[in-house]
Amino acid sequence: MKRYTLVLVSILGTLISKAQDCTISISGRVIDFHDGVPLKDATITFNDQTIVTDKEGNYIISDLCPVAYAFTISHPNCNSQVITLDVAEVTKKDFYLEHHLDELQEVKVSGKKRTKTSSAQEETISKDVIEKYSSAALGDALKEITGVSSLNTGSTIVKPIIQGLSGSRVLIMNNGVRMQDMEWGDEHAPNVDINTAGNLTVVKGAAALRYGGDAIGGVIVMEPNKVPAKDTLTGRTIITGASNGRGTTVSSEIIKGYKSGWFLKAQGTLKRFGDVEAPDYVLSNTGIFERGGSLSFGNNKFTNGWDVYYSYYQNEIGVLAASHIGNADDLIESINSGQPSVINDFTYTIDNPKQDVTHHLGRLRYFKRFEKLGKWTTQYDFQHNQRFEFDIRQTEELRKIPSLDLELTTHTLTSDFVLDSKFDYNLDFGLLVRYQDNFADPSTRARRLIPDYDKYDAGLFVTGKYNLNDNITVDAGVRYDYNQIDAKKFYIKTRWEERGYDQEFNDLIIADEGTQWLTNPKFEYHSISATTGFNYVFGESYELRGNYALAQRAPNPAELFSDGLHHSASRIELGDLRIEQETSHKVSFSFQKSDENWGWEIAPYANFINDYIVLEPTDVELSIRGAFPVWEYRQTNARLLGIDAKLNKKWFPNWKTNHSFSLVKGRDIETEIPLINIPAANVSNALIFHKENWNDLVISLESEYTFRQNEFPDNIMVFSPQEQEDVLLEINTPPGDYHLLHLNADMTVPFIKQNKLNIGVTINNITNNTYRNYLNRQRFFADEVGRNFLLRLTFNY
């Protein structure tokens, strides 16, 4: 009520004000309150004038008098709002509109950006960028963000790397639920359909404590499109066809909203690709068959609301046939030959080796808003992850059963309370309890890579932020996590001794199974994480952020329990029961100027990780099947130093360029040896032509240059039975640098009545370059994917 009184008074004030020295201008942006995405074509009306925001949501209003004005801010999908500003005192103002009216049926005006944290480095990509990646993986789209790269297994299994860190160090929040999908495996991609995301935010580091305390790498937040609280029925269908892989993706979404707050949303995706092709040959057995669907409904009012969400995801992924090798000699042979050992004709058939993963996610959420206090949210989520990996095994019969069959079930209950009624500060405190059960099915007739275990987690956090003044915000938070893991694990007796466990852990043995011991390791971890930082906004759209984050991560099951031959990788992976938590201290800064005409950001960081858990090739073990490289987990102290930078410049009305650069250097500071799998420096430059009058035509030409990684750990010597001598296994040597060109063009045309059709054409790797990528686990066996033509039709109705 107070707000409306104020508006009324201000309008009166404007009316009675007299013309004075009217040369003042005010500028800023209109931004979606929920996701921080700039709103284009928003209108700002005052007196009899109307200003429209540009594509980046910017506006400038000039020739204003030094009095208070009442501005009406509107956007097609939003409820209009009236904001009063005294122009004599304010020259810079960002307006926040509730774009997708959801739980907050109000407009908030604040000088601050709506982001996940106030002080950490972060970046959001919006719906129209995500749509371009409709047929790709989550990890591909995230590479649009400076400092994000990926660890690939072929072209379809894409694990995001944030500032040099991946796997369990990167949390993925899918629609408010922390994904529990066996992220411990290098060849396990996130089990999410990118088409469920309305926007994607990456927080680079552990500063977003509410999501978890162990995000040493960072947090990826996927949020769905919000449903407006009005009577509406909308939908979207994206059809993408690609020449390379000869595949199609169809993704469709339909949303029904009611003014009363009720909503219903359904979404589905179908993706089918055959073998993709490198410039010189078919990459045999690299097809993919992905199916996904989600359904949500609920009732969101301003004071309270609830919703139910369920999603299903299944993906059958072929793994390059040539990547199946027998032993170290085969690996050497493959590295030397430079050609995949298996090249067949193109097919859609997915044969062994392959992965077949299914993920069910269910969520119930309830929130209640307390007047003059804040908002309480409670959520229960259920996840069921089933992973099958099929290998090339000795007999036809064995090939039909998976050699890895893991079933991970997770129940999580979270509750948090945000005290946000005060203008100058807010506090968020919450708790989490989680139970997880991993079942490794013995019907695989292969020794379990990861044992059966029960895991119990509990967490407590409090975070707060304080607006010192209009320009400076400080934030801080602390979190405690408890993890307990209770496993039943078999060890080959000789391995138990070789690891030295017989000296320390014999009390864990609970049964003697002939050649193996059954053990019951039960470990507890207490982790503390904390963060503090500031945000300083000044001048013409300048922002300086600084953050320190302390994070501790308990070891994952692979780091503790891996033991034995990993058939799909033909390497022996050895975890260690002695592994303790790793502790990261990260300091990061970001200095930026956001402006469509001339903007830039420089974001340096330093991450010191004590007891960093690293998996490296260390040795070879001989067996009757030949020599196998041994990859061991060990702990050391590490240091990652890096910088992400970007720049955008509008040269002419329709022409602009975007530039970005990222560099990270990782080092083991105990041995002064470079860390393994650190992304090489890369530069991206794009030339963009945009003409709104021509059906919103956008054409962009992008050049992507990746340097060779010159810092890598030493290779290992292997005894080759064939050569009868020790030979160098160049398992760590990175391939050379490469340069790729991509072209993208799209335009929006009217399509039946009020509807719109966006037509997009993309050519990736235009010059059909042959190259290999250091961060692709299959770089030993085959080249990367060659040229690819994509045609994309997006219907909005």
Partner 1 sequence: MNTRKFLSMLAIAGLFASSCSDDDDNPVVVNEEEVITTMNVTLTAGTDVVTLTSVDLDGPDGPNAPVVEVSGSLAANTTYTGAIELLNESEMPAEEINEEIEEEADEHQFFFEVAGTLNATAAATDTEADYPPLTGTNPVGLAFELVTTDASTGSLTITLRHMPTKPNDGTLADAGGDTDIAQSFDLTIE
What is the smallest separation between the CB atom of 621 and partner 1, expressed in angstroms? 6
Least Cβ distance, residue 525 to partner 1 (angstroms): 20
Q: Are 679 and 707 in contact (CB under 8 A)?
A: no
Which is closer to partner 1, CB of 425 or CB of 505? 505
Beta carbon nearer to partner 1, 625 or 708: 625
Residues 712 and 745 sit within 8 Å (Cβ to Cβ): no
Nearest approach in angstroms of CB 651 to partner 1 is 55
Cα 406 to Cα 188: distance, rounded to the nearest angstrom: 12
Using CB under 8 A as the criterion, which residues of the chain lie in contact with partner 1 when the complex forms? 299, 304, 306, 324, 326-327, 329-330, 333, 337, 341-342, 364, 366, 368, 378, 380, 382, 392-395, 398, 409, 411, 413, 435, 437, 439-440, 442, 444-448, 451-452, 454, 488, 490, 492-495, 498, 510-511, 513-516, 518, 563-565, 572, 621-626, 628, 721-722, 724
Q: What's the min distance (Å) between Cβ of 489 and partner 1? A: 9
- 270 versus 492: smaller Cβ distance to partner 1: 492
Q: What are phi and psi of 323, to 5 degrees?
A: -80, -5
Nearer to partner 1, 89 or 397 (CB): 397
| Distance of closest approach, residue 327 Cβ to partner 1, in angstroms | 5
Smallest gap from residue 456 Cβ to partner 1 (A): 10
Q: Minimal distance in Å, beta carbon 502 to partner 1? A: 13
| Closest distance to partner 1 from the beta carbon of 300 (Å) | 12
| Cβ 249 to partner 1 shortest distance, Å | 34
- Interatomic CA distance for residues 107 and 226, integer angstroms: 15
CA angle 431, 432, 437 (to 5 degrees): 170
φ and ψ at residue 400, rounded to 5 degrees: -80, -20
CA angle, corner 702, sides to 701 and 705, nearest 5?
A: 150
Q: What strands lie across the sheet with 58-64, from one edge to the other?
A: 58-64, 24-32, 95-97, 108-109
Choose among 779, 786, 788, 694: nearest CA to 736: 779
Token pair belonging to 506: 């014999």
Given a contact cutoff of 8 angstroms between Cβ atoms, the answer to whether 415 and 379 are in contact is yes
291 vs 447 by CB, closer to partner 1? 447
Please, which residues have CB within 8 angstroms of residue 786's CB and are 6 or more apart in sequence? 244, 277, 278, 279, 765, 768, 769, 770
CB nearer to partner 1: pick between 252 and 516: 516
Strand 788-796 and strand 232-242: the pairing is antiparallel
Q: Which residue has the tokens 């938590």?
A: 581
Q: How far apart are CA 682 and CA 661, in angstroms?
A: 6
For residues 347 and 516, which CB has a smaller minimum distance to partner 1 in the complex? Answer: 516
> Nearer Cβ to partner 1, position 55 or 256?
256
CA-to-CA distance for 145 and 217, rounded, in angstroms? 14
Residue 560 corresponds to which tokens in the numbers above? Answer: 């503790």
Half-sphere exposure of 14 (CA within 13 A, CB side): 20
**165 or 487: CB nearest partner 1:** 487
Strand locations in 104-231, DSSP E?
108-109, 122-125, 148-153, 157-162, 165-166, 170-174, 177-178, 199-203, 218-223
Q: Is 442 helix (H, G, I), strand (E, B) or coil?
A: helix
Place of tokens 């040229």: 787
Query: Rounded to the nearest whole angstrom, what is the least distance from the CB of residue 373 to partner 1 in the complex?
Result: 17
Q: Shortest gap between Cβ of 380 and partner 1 (angstroms)?
A: 5
Q: State in angstroms the smallest separation of the CB of 335 from partner 1.
A: 13
Name the token pair of 134.
């409709």
Closest approach of partner 1 to the CB of residue 176, in Å: 15
Closest to partner 1 by CB, 51 or 413: 413
Q: Return the number of the residue (262 or 598) whose C-beta is nearest partner 1.
A: 262
Which residues sit opposite 350 in a β-bridge?
A: none
The one-letter amino acid at 379:
Q
Q: What are phi and psi of 156, to 5 degrees?
A: -105, -20
From 417, 434, 429, 420, select the one nearest 381 (Cα to Cα): 434
- Cβ nearer to partner 1, comparing 52 with 717: 717
Calpha distance 343→330 (Å, rounded) = 16
Q: How many angstroms separate the CA atoms of 370 and 419, rounded?
A: 9
Rounded to a whole number of angstroms, the minimum distance from the CB of residue 411 to partner 1 is 4
* Tally of residues, the chain: 797
- Nearest CB to partner 1, comparing residues 298 and 760: 298
The shares of helix, strand and coil residues in the chain, as percent rounded to the nearest 5, are 10, 55, 35
Look up residue 612 and give its two tokens: 């960093």
d(CA 535, CA 548): 12
User: Taking the complex as a whole, how short is the minimal distance between the CB of residue 579 and partner 1, in angstroms?
Assistant: 19
In terms of Cα–Cα distance, which of 536, 712, 514, 546 is closest to 617?
712
DSSP string, 769-786: -----TTBTTTTT-PPP-
Q: Which residues pair with 593 in a beta bridge?
A: 542, 600
Q: How far is the CB of 356 from partner 1 (least distance, A)?
A: 20
Closer by beta carbon to partner 1, 379 or else 744: 379
What is the largest distance, in Å, between two alpha-carbon atoms of the chain? 97
Question: Closer CB to partner 1, residue 382 or residue 751?
Answer: 382
State the minimum distance, in angstroms, from the CB of residue 485 to partner 1.
14
**Residue 179: DSSP 8-state:** -
- Of the two residues 77 and 409, which places its CB atom closer to partner 1 in the complex? 409
Cα separation, 73 vs 44, in Å, equals: 5
Q: Which is nearer to partner 1, 454 or 692 (CB)?
A: 454
DSSP notation for 493-538: HHHHHHTTHHHH-GGGEEEEETTEEEE--EEEEEEEEEEEEEEEEE
Q: Measured from the CB atom, is 428 or 573 closer to partner 1?
A: 573
